[in-house]
Structure 1
Amino acid sequence: MMIVASNFDPFRDLDRMASALLDTRRGPRRMPMDLYRDGDHYVLTADLPGIDPGSVDIDVDGQLLTIRAERTLGDREGVKWITREREAASFLRQLNLGQGVDTEDISASYFNGVLSVTIPVSEKAKPRKIQVIGGDTTADETVMAVEQPAKGAS
């Protein structure tokens, strides 16, 4: 007796069809994204395969970043579809940026189906050194001591 392994799944097509028919989500879909900090910038990358870059709309309103995109599929007259799993869709993602970013210098690019948004950290939020004044003198006395030459110096 010979047993042949098969990847045939008779319920796969039925499951796909049922999912398509019962899918009540008709509004915008969320796009998968990653967000990380690289030095003085945050970088957001989002998967948007099959999107025309001209359909991508990025807005900043206060501290709210909104990304919208549309995927349209051209209608082909006279063709008989064997399967059609890709569908036209709109995508939406909103993020609250917080107070530590520079909303004026946000930039974006789209390459190979991935949208990259670069969000710079504001100057106020960047790490910085704080000068420590020590000793028993006040800050004014320290400045005056530095500005006045020592007695006997010419």
Structure 2
Amino acid sequence: MFDLLPFERRRNDLMHYFNDWGKDFFGEMGDQISAFRTDIRDKGDHYLLEAELPGFDKKDIGINLEGDTLTISAKHETQNEEKKDNYIRRERSYGSFVRSFDVSGIDTGSIKAEYKNGVLELILPKVVETKPQSRQIDIG
């Protein structure tokens, strides 16, 4: 029988190299370049979502709630210009990151957000289940 080891078949076409450029160039980090790291912890009555967004200003971060989908986006734009003698150097860098989360079972009207030290914290209160009240009905 064949060995049960995973293998990767390489195709020698231009589209393969173009489509997988990020993964080929950056290795395993190529899949994570367009995302940001996020931790979600269960705190009993709420969830705590911590998203690492270092280098962003608060005004560059957007939080959008549409139905049961919470979307966090961050856009970063920097421009550097250096003039020295007859030499001019200009550099620009742009980046945007987007992650979406299912928030069904969350009290969306009570979500709170805070951004400090490069970490966005969202407090996501759980929906409190209401138990139907039972009562005794007298027979007349």
The bucket for the TM-score relative to the shorter chain is 0.5 to 0.7
**Letter aligned with residue 67 of structure 1:** I
The Cα RMSD (Å) is 3.3
- Residue 88 (structure 1) shift: 2.8
1:63 partnered with 2:68? yes
The residue that corresponds to 1:38 in the other structure is 43
- Residue 33 (structure 1) shift: 0.3
CA distance in 2, matches of 1:66, 1:41: 18
The residue that corresponds to 1:88 in the other structure is 94
Between structure 1 and structure 2, the one with the greater Rg is 1
How many residues matched?
Answer: 107
- Residue 77 (structure 1) shift: 2.7
SS of 2:83 mapped into structure 1: coil
- Residue 132 (structure 1) shift: 8.9
CA distance in 2, matches of 1:57, 1:67: 6
The residue that corresponds to 1:78 in the other structure is 83
Q: Which runs of 5+ in 2 are unaligned?
A: 1-23
The residue that corresponds to 1:107 in the other structure is 112
Query: Contact between 1:52 and 1:70, CA under 8 Å: does it hold in 2?
Result: no
SS of 1:122 mapped into structure 2: coil
Q: Which runs of 5+ in 1 are unaligned?
A: 1-17, 134-138, 142-154
CA distance in 2, matches of 1:124, 1:46: 28
Identity of aligned residues (%): 31
CA distance in 2, matches of 1:92, 1:62: 17
TM-score by length of 1: 0.57
**Letter aligned with residue 73 of structure 1:** T
CA distance in 2, matches of 1:75, 1:124: 53
The residue that corresponds to 1:140 in the other structure is 137
Q: Deviations over 1:107-130 (max 9, x none)?
A: 1111111111111111227xx7x8
TM-score by length of 2: 0.63
CA distance in 1, matches of 2:76, 2:112: 22
